[in-house]
Amino acid sequence: MQGGLPVIAVSLPGVDRGAIEGMEAAVGKRMLGLSGLEVSALGLGCMGLSYHRSANLDRDEAIALIREAVDLGVTLFDTAQVYGPFTNEQLVGDALAPVRDHVVVATKFGEVDVDGRPVVSSRPELIKQTTDASLARLGVETIDLLYQHRVDPEVPIEEVAGAVRDLIAQGKVRYFGLSEAGAQTIRRAHAIQRVAAVQSEYSLWWRRPENEVLPVCEELGIGFVPYSPLGRGFLAGAIDEHTTFDHADNRNALPRFTVEARKANQALVDRLRTIGERKGATLAQLALAWLLARATWIVPIPGTTKVHRLQENLRAATTQLTSGDLAEIEHAASEVTIVGDRYPAELEQKTNR
CA gap 37, 198 in Å, rounded:
13
| CA angle (229, 36, 46) in 5-degree steps | 35
- Residue 230 contacts residue 209 (beta carbons within 8 Å): no
Query: Catalytic residue at 83?
Result: yes
Write the CB contacts of 165 (distance below 8 Å, at least 6 apart in sequence): 176, 192, 193
CA gap 105, 142 in Å, rounded:
9
CA gap 50, 68 in Å, rounded:
17
Residue 208's identity, in one-letter code, is: R
Residue tagged active-site, from 51, 83, 175, 343: 83
Helices (H), 170-306: 183-192, 213-220, 259-279, 283-294
How does strand 117-120 pair with strand 111-114? Answer: antiparallel
Catalytic residue annotation: 83
